[in-house]
Chains A and B, each alone.
Chain A
Amino acid sequence: MRNTMLLSQFFLKDLIYRKIFFVALGLGLSFVILSLLLGPLSYNEEARLAINFSLAGSQIALIFLSVLVGADFIKLDIESQAIHSFLARPISRFQFFIGKFIAFAGCLFFLSLFMWFGFYLVSAIIGLETSLVSILPFWGVFLESLVLFSFAMMTSLFASSLMTVGASFALFLVGHFVEMLRQLEKSDDLMAKIFGGLITKVIPNLESLNWKAHLTYNEWASPMTYFKFSLYGMSWIFLLVAVGYLIFSKKDFS
């Protein structure tokens, strides 16, 4: 555990030094500020438009960051042979893999928190009604980004960076339409039925982590609903990380 934490601190510092952290934070906060400032330009729906745009902006910044970093995070270490310097030390493959994951999860968590704080602050400044509960959609975006990061990290172990990025964005798009694809299960066509049934089981329903509309329309679900969906997101993260580690543990680092 000690070595895993040391590794995650080291890789978190690396992410900060690589300025990725600041680029994503700057991008996300600019989206938030711009959206909140653009809101008043719309007719009658200033608050909703501003909130919706700023949340979407934060989501895009975090998702891009997760996919792009995930596609190279471990792959670069393998290709540059930097991994040899770590694994020759008293560090297991498991500690290395989990250490890397925790480092990015920590980075993403702080980014989400800063973005929410920025959103909260700017909302208060321009006079939009908001409360501390507004952190929930950011928590949802954090979980969604982490699902995509875990997927990208796993895929990068056997596919090229370009394929990984493509597959991750495809997952993002399809993941938001899982509910619609589920309708295929009701189809009379056997193939469509099988496809609908399969896709809802092998692809995470990312829409269940999308709580932006709850804030936009100020219609909140019960705490249990958020807890259940959070657990759903975490289960997918756990599954993807576990599969990723299985591949990583068997991989040759030549």
Chain B
Amino acid sequence: MNEIAIECRNLSKVFKAGFFPKPVEALKSLTFEVPAGKVTGFLGPNGSGKSTFLKVAAEFIAATEGTVTFFGGKSFSEVKKDIGFVPEKPMYPSSFTGRQILDFHAKLTRVDQIRIEEVVKLVGLENATSRAFRTYSKGMKQRLAIAQALLPDPKLLILDEPLSGLDPDGREVLIQVIQGYASRPGKTVILSSHLLEDLQRICNNLVVIESGCLLFSGDPSSVFKPNQFLVRYKLDQKTFEIKCSNTDLNSKLGELLSKDVQIHSIEPESKPISALYFELTKKNLKQNTEKRVKEVVM
């Protein structure tokens, strides 16, 4: 049986602020599981509740109802030492150098200097650790945050929007670091993002949230069966490609074989995560857009 890294049961969060608070339901009875040893992407538009879920999981905010448990019923506090957390906006005292920040976190997690060197090299910050944190670019801040999260070699790495606002180079570096970590046996990664292409590259498990509701949870390929095939065939020494849907695949193949062509390959054409995402959310997006347009026009 596969191990479960995170088990979320009936999780709700209602925010109330101010003197006369109007309750805002950020999470609505979320129930899902995150399998261990996989890279799970939390997908959803801005304000959908991705970060709120991660903050509730990390006990930064209290759940109104429901529970989030780790590795077989343990709370976040009980497994903190096995978890690396990279917040949405990594912030450290601005006058400290990267090295001082890592030294401090190494002492907290009882990690030696060799490990610091390893993680610094891993995230490519070798030439920047002596610089003050305030001089770091956004990408460097993210890399430093990942370095500190990786210090104790955690079983689970949680990253809250690590790729947003980064330039393509910075994103590439971070994706490689995350992929490198996730490729090791027993390591689980959870990252939230609204960047579909990046999630497509990294994730093999997906949780889609919108307006605090769970739209999808699981392996995207399992529900997203290919309904389109790419057929390659040779005719007169030239290679051709045609696309056909599930329904007309047989008739198309019969047609080609009758013309005495040589079928080279038939490949299911995988659709991007974005297709699944828009399929799941299009109704809501359409409703929201119509509502906003009406509001503006009125």
Contacting pair A18 B95 (CB below 8 A)? yes
Known: A90-B80, A90-B109. A6 touches B104 (CB 8 A): yes
User: In the complex, A80 Cα to B95 Cα: how many Å?
Assistant: 15
B92 at the interface (CB under 8 A from A): yes
Contact with A along B90-104 (1 / 0, CB 8 A): 111101100010001
Binds B, one of A23-31, A81-89, A163-171, A194-202: A81-89
Q: Are B108 and A14 in contact (CB under 8 A)?
A: no
Q: Which residues of B contact A88 (CB under 8 A)?
A: 58, 80, 83-85, 87, 149
Given contacts A80-B89, A254-B52, 11 further A-B contacts (CB under 8 A): A6-B108, A17-B93, A17-B96, A80-B91, A81-B88, A82-B93, A85-B92, A88-B58, A88-B85, A90-B81, A90-B109
Asked whether A252 lies within 8 Å of B92 as measured between CB atoms, the reply is no
Q: How many whole Å from A127's CB to the nearest CB in chain B?
A: 42
Q: Complex formed: what's the CA distance from A17 to B93 in Å?
A: 9
**Chain A interface (Cβ within 8 Å of chain B)?**
3, 6, 10, 13-14, 17-18, 80-85, 87-92, 250, 252-254
Q: Is B119 an interface residue (CB 8 A)?
A: no
CB of B285 within 8 A of chain A? no
Which residue of chain B lies nearest to A15 when distances are taken between CB atoms in the complex?
B93
- Which chain B residues border A92 with CB–CB below 8 Å? 77
Q: Does B145 contact A (CB under 8 A)?
A: yes
A252 lies within 8 A of B61 (CB): yes
Q: Is B58's CB under 8 angstroms from A87's CB?
A: yes
Question: Given A14-B96, A85-B145, do A254 and B55 touch, yes or no (CB 8 Å)?
Answer: yes
A253 touches which of B15, B61, B83, B84 (Cβ 8 Å): B61
* Complex interface: chain A residues within 8 A of B60 (CB): 83-84, 87, 252-254
Q: Are B89 and A3 touching (Cβ within 8 A)? A: no
Q: In the complex, what residue of chain A is closest to B79 when comparing beta carbons?
A: A90
Question: Are B61 and A254 interface neighbours, CB within 8 A?
Answer: yes
Nearest CB to that of B58 among chain A residues?
A88
A248 to chain B, nearest CB (A): 12
* CA distance in complex: A10, B84 (Å): 20
Assess the B91–A14 pair: CB atoms within 8 A: no
Partner of B91, one of A6, A81, A91: A81
CB distance from A12 to the nearest CB of B (A): 11
Q: How does the 8 Å CB contact mask read for B42-56 relative to A, with 1 for contact and 0 for none?
A: 000000000010010
Contact present for A81 and B89 (CB under 8 Å): yes
In this complex, the member of A14, A89, A90 whose beta carbon has the largest number of chain B beta carbons within 10 angstroms is A89
Question: How close is A147's CB to chain B, nearest CB, in angstroms?
Answer: 26
A74 to chain B, nearest CB (A): 13
Among B165-205, those with CB < 8 Å from A are none
Shortest C-beta distance, B158 to chain A (Å), equals 8
Does B107 lie at the interface of the complex (its beta carbon under 8 Å from any beta carbon of A)?
yes
Contacts of B90 in A (CB 8 A): 85
Taken together as a complex, chains A and B put the C-alpha atoms of A253 and B52 apart, in Å, by: 10
Known contacts: A6-B107, A89-B109, A254-B15. The answer to whether A14 contacts B80 by CB under 8 A is no
* B148 CB-CB contact with A under 8 Å: yes
Of B15, B93, B149, which one neighbours A14 at CB under 8 angstroms? B93
A253 contact set on B, CB distance < 8 A? 55, 60-61
Contacts of B83 in A (CB 8 A): 88
Whether, in the assembled complex, B62 has its beta carbon less than 8 Å from a beta carbon of chain A, the answer is yes
Q: How far is the CB of A114 from chain B (nearest CB, A)?
A: 21
Q: Do the beta carbons of B109 and A85 come within 8 Å of each other?
A: no
- A91-B58 contact in complex given A85-B145, A85-B148, C-beta closer than 8 Å: no
A84-B58 contact given A14-B96, A17-B96, A18-B95, CB 8 Å threshold: yes
| B residues in contact with A17, CB < 8 Å | 93, 95-96
- Whether B105 is near chain A, meaning CB under 8 Å from some CB there, is yes
Report the minimal beta-carbon distance from A252 to chain B, rounded to whole angstroms: 4
Query: How close is A69's CB to chain B, nearest CB, in angstroms?
Result: 14
Write the chain A residue with the least CB distance to B83. A88
Contacting A at CB under 8 A, from B68-86, are 77, 80-81, 83-85
Q: Min CB distance, B104 to chain A, in Å?
A: 5
Q: Give complex CA distance A80, B93 in Å.
A: 10
A113 → B minimal CB distance (Å): 24
* Most chain B CB inside 10 Å of its own CB: which residue of A84, A91, A253, A254: A84
Query: Bound complex: CA of A88 vs CA of B81, how far in Å?
Result: 9
> 3 smallest A-B Cβ distances: which pairs?
A88-B85, A17-B95, A82-B91
Residues of chain B contacted by A13 (CB below 8 angstroms): 96, 100
Can you name 28 A-B pairs with beta carbons within 8 Å? A3-B108, A6-B104, A10-B104, A13-B96, A14-B93, A14-B95, A17-B93, A18-B95, A80-B89, A80-B91, A83-B60, A84-B85, A85-B145, A87-B60, A88-B80, A88-B84, A89-B80, A89-B105, A89-B108, A89-B109, A90-B80, A90-B81, A91-B108, A250-B62, A252-B15, A252-B60, A252-B62, A253-B61
